[in-house]
Amino acid sequence: MPNALAYLMLAIWPLVAVWLFARLDPVRALIWGTILPFLLLPPVARFDLPGLPDLDKVNIANLTLLVLVLFQLKARPEFVPKSRLLRGLLVLFVFSPFATVLTNPEGYVVGGRLFPGQRIYDSISFLAYQALAVVPFFLGRHFLAQPQTVRPLLLALVAACLAYSLPMLVEVRLSPQINVWVYGFFQHDFLQMIRQGGFRPIVFLPHGLWVAFFTMMAVVSAAVLIRLDGPDRRPWWLLAFLWLAVVLVLTKTLGALAMALALVPAVLILPPRLMVLIAAGVAAMVITYPLLRGAGLIAVGDIIALVERIDPARAQSFAFRIGNEEALLDRAQIKPWFGWGGYARNLIHDPDTGRLLTVPDGNWIIVLGIFGWTGYLAQFGLLVLPLLRLGRLALARRPGIELPVAGLALIYAANLIELLPNATLMTLTWLIAGALTGQAETLIAARAARAAPPARPRTIL
């Protein structure tokens, strides 16, 4: 159970954010106002308010950012985009839970356990949660839409991970205990943090997978900075890269390490245009993944066999996940359009005892089960759209996409891939999605301006 310090940290975060916005320019204040609560505030701990989403570290940080931008910076982000597709996806994402609630009024009992029906009360909570979730998207689209605003984000990822590597190494050596020492509880299953005869770190994040993936993002960001900066700064970025690469290996997470091995050569060698095209291809694969799985077009057996040759234990874990996904996908098809709603109704339970039989890992199957295809297409449509728009621009002869944007696009594409086996949808994910959306809109506007015919001078008689 969280201690008093955990709730105190949640309560005082808005004051810390006020200080950040007073000391830093808006771009850096937004970036650090997103990264710091993600890394430092307690997981699991929350303030429960009736009829509203729980005020946990994510919702408190997002609500604080919105209030400070509107009232301290007096900025007015464009909450109603000009793009009809983007506008439609946002409306669907925020308001489709109403349909989920209306189509799930019935309760049912499994093994003596009651699974209540959805109420209008629940739809209000769903709506507020969805609206808060996309706050970083809007703010990233407003403040990080220019090419020069991407470098501070890459710098922040590297700097934050360098600092975070110290408690990570403590946990690699002593076991994951920092959240227990500071906030009085362990936030997950301790056995899952034991790996390869040692430990993988978790610090203040929900799972060791999140720590590993964040480290991978920092490693690739350092590689981008190595290529981007001149000879005077390059040795420092090389040292940061090597240090973070060692830390990534010590996180003992095969998926994150494999992504780094694939992305680092790409950001060091490939032209920005090709990097963006690869990221767009990944986005197209992610949005169609459930359809491909349902049609049996993804050879999961071959993937399991490949993983088994690398690490039999990981292959067993992966096969378990695949089996869960298939069972949950079958259940999702019973209510395909708007899903089952909350209260674990999307999961499978033992008919005699009510015991949970399935564990949802991937974000896609969680969204599909709770909100149906409507919710899935809304969320993942929002997430993949910036990469698809950048990919369309990259097909042009002179796309104008700079290296930092292309590197960020690849990092973001890796996050989309990670959402398939794991539920690592972070505030950073939404912030980067908004930033790349803004970058695409800036490039589209610049190209339209270049293509416009010059105005004829007016003749004065």
Q: CB neighbours (10 Å) of residue 344? A: 16
**Is the separation of the CB atoms in 375 and 369 below 8 Å?**
no
What string of H, E and C letters represents the secondary structure of 55-86? ECHHHHHHHHHHHHHHHHCCCCCCCCCCCHHH
- Asked whether residue 218 is assigned to any structural domain, the reply reads no
Q: What is the pTM of this model?
A: 0.93
Count of domains for the chain: 1
pLDDT score for 30: 97
- Asked whether residue 395 is assigned to any structural domain, the reply reads yes
**Is the separation of the CB atoms in 137 and 433 below 8 Å?**
yes
pLDDT score for 292: 80
Domain that residue 376 falls in: 84-133+270-447
Compute the distance between CA of residue 118 and CA of residue 104 in angstroms, rounded to an integer: 6
Instruction: Report residue 162 as tokens.
Output: 């360098």
pLDDT score for 457: 61
If we measure between CA atoms, which residue out of 25, 61, 29 comes closest to residue 42? 61
Compute the distance between CA of residue 64 and CA of residue 396 in angstroms, rounded to an integer: 40
- Asked whether residue 401 is assigned to any structural domain, the reply reads yes
Beta carbons within 8 Å of 291's beta carbon, 6+ residues apart: none
**Is the separation of the CB atoms in 339 and 346 below 8 Å?**
yes
Beta carbons within 8 Å of 111's beta carbon, 6+ residues apart: 349, 350, 351, 352, 353, 354, 355
pLDDT score for 452: 66
- Asked whether residue 358 is assigned to any structural domain, the reply reads yes
- Asked whether residue 311 is assigned to any structural domain, the reply reads yes
Q: Name the one residue in this structure whose structure tokens are 């981008």.
A: 224
- Asked whether residue 280 is assigned to any structural domain, the reply reads yes
Beta carbons within 8 Å of 415's beta carbon, 6+ residues apart: 213, 217, 424, 426, 428, 429, 432
pLDDT (tens, 9 = 90+) of the chain, 461 residues, equals 899 999 999 999 999 999 999 999 999 999 999 999 999 999 989 998 776 778 999 999 999 999 999 999 998 888 888 889 999 999 999 999 999 999 999 988 888 888 899 888 788 888 889 999 999 999 999 999 999 999 999 999 999 999 999 999 999 999 999 999 999 999 888 888 888 788 999 999 999 999 999 999 999 999 999 999 888 899 999 999 999 999 999 999 988 999 999 999 999 999 999 999 999 999 999 999 888 877 666 767 777 777 777 777 677 777 777 788 888 888 999 999 999 998 889 989 888 888 888 878 889 999 999 999 999 999 999 999 999 999 999 998 777 899 999 999 999 999 999 998 888 899 999 999 999 999 999 998 887 777 766 656 655 54
Compute the distance between CA of residue 185 and CA of residue 133 in angstroms, rounded to an integer: 26
What string of H, E and C letters represents the secondary structure of the chain? CCCHHHHHHHHHHHHHHHHHHHHCCHHHHHHHHHHHHHHHCCCCCCECCCCCCCECHHHHHHHHHHHHHHHHCCCCCCCCCCCHHHHHHHHHHHHHHHHHHHCCCCCEEECCEEECCCCHHHHHHHHHHHHHHCHHHHHHHHHCCCHHHHHHHHHHHHHHHHHHHHHHHHHHHHCCCHHHHHHCCCCCCHHHHEECCEECCCCCCCCHHHHHHHHHHHHHHHHHHHHHCCCCCHHHHHHHHHHHHHHHHHCCCHHHHHHHHHHHHHHHHCCHHHHHHHHHHHHHHHHHHHHHHHCCCCCHHHHHHHHHHHCHHHHHHHHHHHHHHHHHHHHHCCCCCCCCCCCCCCCCECCCCCCECCCCCCHHHHHHHHHHHHHHHHHHHHHHHHHHHHHHHHCCCCCCCCHHHHHHHHHHHHHHHHCCCCCCCCHHHHHHHHHHHHHHHHHHHHHHHHHCCCCCCCCCC
- Asked whether residue 63 is assigned to any structural domain, the reply reads no
Instruction: Report residue 309 as tokens.
Output: 């040759």
pLDDT score for 297: 67
If we measure between CA atoms, which residue out of 281, 245, 25 comes closest to residue 148? 25
